[in-house]
Amino acid sequence: MADHAARKPIGPLRYAHIPLLLILAIGSAAAQTSPGAARPIDRTSAQKLIALTFDDGPRPWVLKGNSEAGHASASLLDLLDREGAKATFFVMAWRLAPAADQDCRKIDTGITCRQAAEEEHRRGHEIENHTYGHGNFRLMQKRYGEDWILNDIDRASRTIQPITGAKPQYLRPPDWEIWPELAQRIEARGYHIMSKSTTLPPFRRDVDSEDYFCAGKDLSKCPQPSLHDYVLRTIEQRERKGVFGHILVFHEIPNSVDVLSRLIPELKKRGYKFVTLAEYMEVEKPGLPRGGDPETLGRLVMERDCVPAAVESSLPL
């Protein structure tokens, strides 16, 4: 998400004979970017994009993996590395505070939640705002008022920024709960609000995996015949409507890591590229041709709802 480094002028006229494409290639290779910066995108790969996002972390025992009975999980970060996939993590910022260290290490992987977020950033993933306290906006409004909500969002950004070096651009409200007046005030603070509202164009809409229904003791609402099949069916339904860009919403829970270990390779075989949310939004700018325009594609990625409040309490830690 950092700005691309400015390119130096071409220089003396004696270089004017160098083909333009070679100049652009040299300039692109020389550009310096931060781990979260948008990468150049191959024009041929821009037609099928997935922004893989995760809510409610960071959870070190899922990101790094663990073998503790009842909470065992393969490493989500290692999975993403193996598949060459970049993701976006919407974190609950209270987990990044020192006061959360003891809770974060109930299942001890040797690192705190904050250190797990730093590892996400080091590996080139994006970190965005899921509020500080993860309170449902309607409930928080009744208890404390809208100003409290805005302060909670800004508090999260102030906690995240020292890790990433930049203020988060995107906010996903808990439970996707939002109303127009509050949305206007949040957007005035510079945030893009993530939503699954049908008023949005399909490629800008969050696609809820419903993975949280497959965690905890009550699995009665877990999609059937499986979460894996449900996500694929959802994508296929969107494809039949001509939509080939998807913002998939998962959570940092062991079951989702297992499902994604099969889903990511399968979707890659179908021609999908996994990019950060910032990269996806750049390509999918409203008003651009499907997949973006040549200028946008030339400088983006190379080869390669939140849990309902009643459900969250049943999720592991």
On the CB side of 51, CA atoms within 13 Å amount to: 28
Range of the domain at 254: 39-312
298, exposed or middle or buried, with CB in 10 Å at 0-12, 13-18, 19+? middle
Residue 23 belongs to some domain of the structure:
no
**Distance between first and last Cα of the chain:** 30
- Scanning the structure block, which residue is given the tokens 């409610």? 56
Provide CB contacts within 8 A for 142, sequence distance 6+. none
What CATH number is attached to the domain comprising 124?
A: 3.20.20.370
Residue 95 pLDDT class (50, 70, 90 cuts): very high
d(CA 63, CA 73): 9
Residue 8 belongs to some domain of the structure:
no
Number of domains in the chain: 1
Which tens digits make up the pLDDT trace of 185-242? 999 999 999 999 999 999 999 999 999 999 989 999 999 999 999 999 999 999 999 9
Residue 73 belongs to some domain of the structure:
yes
Which tens digits make up the pLDDT trace of 138-173? 999 999 999 999 999 999 999 999 999 999 999 999
Q: Tell me: pLDDT of 33 over 60.
A: no
119 φ, ψ to 5°? -70, -40
pTM for this entry:
0.79
Residue 84 belongs to some domain of the structure:
yes
